[in-house]
Amino acid sequence: MSGHGARARRLRRNPIIRDLVHETDLHLSNLVQPYFLAAQKNVKEPITGFTGVYRWSLDLLSKKIEIDLANGLKNFLLFGAAHSEKKDELGTEGYEEKGLLPSAIRTLKERFSDSIVLISDVCLCPYTSHGHCGLVKRTTTTLEIDNDSSLQPLGEMALVHARSGVDIVAPSDMMDFRIGHIREVLDNNNFTQTAIMAYTAKYASSYYGPFREALGSAPQGIDRSTYQMDFRNSTEALRELETDLAEGADIVMVKPALAYLDVIREFKERSPVPVAAYSVSAEYQMVKVLSASGLVDERKMALENLTAIRRSGADIIITYFAEFIAAEGWLK
């Protein structure tokens, strides 16, 4: 065979040509940085097994976000948590107006106003003594997660966050009907402009390990597979998509991201609202561990992964790498 016809290498000849024909971009404006809150003052507490990720006291987080902003990163997802002695069966601390997360929302929104987008995690697991995302119903021998009684506290939590000034609430509990319920509660209280980012296809996954360490939110008794999705399924995610859209989700999310690129693609093809992907704690830590052992280049692998998530169709990516990408200019 000689030189006739299609030759793919013609467009790979040099970096300028490769740039000319490249299809997918990462931008800081599409990235969201998650942060974990700590109750004390003046702490930046490392988390075991979660390299470079900390629990932040509000004073230090406020300074950190100022630096992030200067670096061009503007979107943040905040997680609260209750101290173990404050956790209870109903997750009461989670919808306390003076709680950690609502206080942080108020302080940060007062300071930064609309120069940042603030997203808040809405879920019961950081606040319940049993560590489940919904309320439990017990008999002497069994424990069940009760869907419908969980809606009221989740709605209450979303409302408290909205009152504190959050831009977007992000319910991560996977109870049925919670998007519709939260939308109704927000609208009835005139928070028609507070958006909902739904964890629409959230899978029961091994990739949440480091995160559970961060929040101390490992579930007791049973795992989360009666409410989170089974990783053998993708068609079922379309049903979740349909219901979350019908109930008023403004953004739909797939989580985790890397092992679920097919689901992200399906969502992108069908969803009239933006698609977010949450590249979760173990996706991040895998890169950290491999690069610490010298087997891969951290930046290159992180950017390859995040670009793949974009390429599969994600408009928005939630990633623990966002602050480093911004601070160290990885995209420049």
Catalytic residues: 202, 255
Out of 32, 81, 123, 154, the residue judged to bind Zn ion by CB under 5 A = 123
Residue 37: other Cβ atoms inside 10 A: 20
* Shortest distance, position 187 Cβ to Zn ion, whole Å: 24
The smaller minimum CB distance to ligand PBG, of residues 124 and 241, is found at 124
CA of 174: how far to CAs of 134, 212, 227, in Å? 9, 17, 6
- Number of residue whose CB is nearest ligand PBG: 211
* Shortest distance, position 291 Cβ to ligand PBG, whole Å: 18
Residue 254: other Cβ atoms inside 10 A: 31
Binding part of the chain for Zn ion, among 29-37, 101-109, 117-125, 160-168 by CB under 5 A, reads 117-125
**Residue 93 in contact with residue 86, Cβ under 8 Å?**
yes
- The item of Zn ion, ligand PBG, none sharing an interface with residue 132, based on CB under 5 to 8 Å by kind, is none
Residue 79: other Cβ atoms inside 10 A: 22
317 binds Zn ion (CB under 5 A): no
- Residues forming the site for ligand PBG (CB under 6 A): 121, 123, 125, 133, 172, 208, 211-212, 217, 224, 280-281
Preceding peptide of 171 cis, ω within 30°: no
- The item of Zn ion, ligand PBG, none sharing an interface with residue 81, based on CB under 5 to 8 Å by kind, is none
User: Angle between the 100-112 and 58-70 helix axes, to the nearest 10 degrees?
Assistant: 40
- Tokens read off for 22: 């490249």
- The item of ligand PBG, Zn ion, none sharing an interface with residue 163, based on CB under 5 to 8 Å by kind, is none
Instruction: Report the DSSP pairing between strands 75-79 and 117-122.
Output: parallel
Binding part of the chain for Zn ion, among 116-124, 204-212, 225-233, 251-259 by CB under 5 A, reads 116-124
**Residue 286 in contact with residue 234, Cβ under 8 Å?**
no
Site for Zn ion in 130-189 (CB under 5 A): 133
- The item of ligand PBG, Zn ion, none sharing an interface with residue 96, based on CB under 5 to 8 Å by kind, is none
Query: Is the four-CA dihedral 21, 324, 260, 27 of positive or negative sign?
Result: negative
Contacts with Zn ion by CB under 5 A lie at 123, 125, 133
